[in-house]
Chains A and B, each alone.
Chain A
Amino acid sequence: MTSPSPTRLTLPLTPKAARALKVGDVVLLDGDAVATVGMPTQKRMVAEVEAGRELPLSLRDGAFFHMGVSYEDSEGQPGAVHYVNPTTSSRFNHLMPTLIRGLRLTATGGKGGLSQDSVDAMRDVGCVYFSFVGGASALLSEGVEAVTDCAWRDLIMQFRLNRLRLGDFGPVIVAIDAHGNSIYERLMTSARERMPEIMRSLRPTENKNETD
């Protein structure tokens, strides 16, 4: 019943390191990641990638997270971190396959997971999806050492591309691995399969009478 102590990983991962992870692995993250929660941001990223242009923050082979970040911003440079927290990745389902393939991401993450097109893209390039605990900002934020850079300052703070230096961030769970396995897909399929039985369990007495 006791959980194994989490492995520490340094971002960005190599595709080989990403492929070594399995769904359900629990890890702590160090190193470098870029975070945003912006829909306009990711639309702009897709446009840049499709036009063959480099992003203002290098993300090639990198880690890209759906996470809001608040920090001091008085001198035109990112300052002390206030707090971070993941956002729902699935609302970016339509954009992520292009970003995963185009940037050859090795890690992505947030909460809620990504759809099958992203799972396929992740398998092709060697990329994992980490699930962060939403609403646990007080503890998660302790794993962010600094905001080291930001780009697209015309956007509001949490919509910018914010580069973070992580130290002991997490624990986080590998919820989609680089072999096509997704916790979200597995749980949704299983829940759908259980529904007839769950519906029958609502009316055990009546069902019994019906079969009498």
Chain B
Amino acid sequence: MAITYDLVKEVTANLYDWSLRRIPESSKAEFRKALASETEPQARQTLAFMLDSAERAETTGKFLCSDAGVPSYSIKIGSGARMEGDIRQAIVDGFAELTRTIQPPLLRFVTNPLTNERSFHGKDMPLVSWDLVGEGDYLDITCAPKALGGGRWAAVEILVSPSLDEIERCVLEIVLRAGGQHCPPVVIGVGIGGTFDHAAKLSKDATLRPFGERNPELMVAQMEERLTRAVNQMGFGPMGVGGSTTTFGVHVEYASGHGFTPVAVSFNCWINRRTRARIYNSGVVERIE
């Protein structure tokens, strides 16, 4: 048995479709907590409207947002996975077929950066990252489409032998620059160390972590808690119109590097589109999120 072209094509297309119509369970839980703790009436009303709308989308199959987002997949490959056929092409073909058949239709948002021409396909589409992990006999696929509102505020700064304090200040300055523009309450992913590209990827991976899970290293977990509190003291609030719920969580990942320390920060908007499934060599598909 093996993980086939056909199965990958079907599963990756479905993951994208599902992500457009339902927010993650851990996001719903954060909304309920925030509704209990947020003191600004306007912010509470906005949070309630968001959660109601998300529930409406889930029960009726409507889209959460008109910007379906650039298709983006993070794939973890167990060393025991056996693949059959062109798996990369399966993702391309699955997305192409989906854009022709999905209801309601998608708007054209895949943009050629050199001409600004928009279509449903383009160079390197869908965006896919591949990581080898452990000895598992599966592909673990997360789909997290990236829309314009959340995507445009990410940034990487390169510091030189910074203190922890300087790293945190750098993160907060990037967060301040974004203000409330990214459809808060957002998830904020922070990647520290490695190289420029590696820090950016860590930051993206950090946004994919469900709320409620802290980094296993105490020092990093404490940083996450400090930064989450600090961001929410800024006061931008839901949709950036005021309140104490600007982020549901700052998630930090790090890698060792050299004396130059990239600090990458990225955001995902409140609908936090993310779906995840595992395809095993046996052909079994396990839906995780």
Contacts and interface: CB of A to CB of B under 8 A. Distances in A.
Interface stretch (A10-18, A47-55, A120-128, A190-198): A190-198
A135 B50 contact: yes
A2 B41 contact: yes
A199 B269 contact: no
Return the 9 tightest CB-CB contacts between A and B, nearest first. A85-B66, A136-B53, A68-B66, A82-B104, A138-B57, A139-B53, A138-B56, A134-B183, A135-B271
B269 A188 contact: no
A1 B41 contact: yes
B252 interface: no
A183 interface: yes
Contact of A202 (B64, B230, B235): B230
A202 B155 CA distance: 22
Contacts of A136: 49-50, 53-54, 64
Given A88-B181, A156-B107, A188-B179, A135 B64 contact: yes
B165 A112 contact: no
Contacts of B148: 87-88
Interface in A92-143: 111-113, 131, 133-141
Interface in A1-59: 1-3, 24, 26, 39-40
A109 B124 CA distance: 34
B contact residues, range: 35 or more
A107 to B, nearest CB: 17
Contacts of B233: 194, 197-198, 201
Interface string B199-233: 00000000000000000000000000011011001
Nearest to A188: B179
12 contacts: A3-B42, A68-B67, A69-B66, A87-B148, A88-B181, A133-B49, A135-B271, A136-B53, A173-B241, A187-B179, A199-B169, A199-B172
B235 A70 contact: no
Contact of A140 (B53, B227, B271): B53
Contacts of B66: 67-70, 83-85, 137, 158
A62 interface: no
Nearest to B45: A3
B107 A190 contact: no
Contacts of B46: 133, 173
B42 A24 contact: yes
A148 interface: no
A195 B169 CA distance: 10
A156 B230 CA distance: 41
Interface string A156-179: 111000000000000101010000
Interface in B109-124: 116, 118
A198 B45 contact: no
Interface centre among A83, A87, A91, A197 (most CB of B within 10 A): A83
B108 to A, nearest CB: 5
Given A134-B239, A171-B49, A70 B104 contact: yes
A187 B180 contact: yes
Contact of B62 (A67, A138, A175, A198): A138
A203 interface: yes
Nearest to A112: B181
B240 interface: yes
Interface in B54-91: 54, 56-57, 60, 62-67
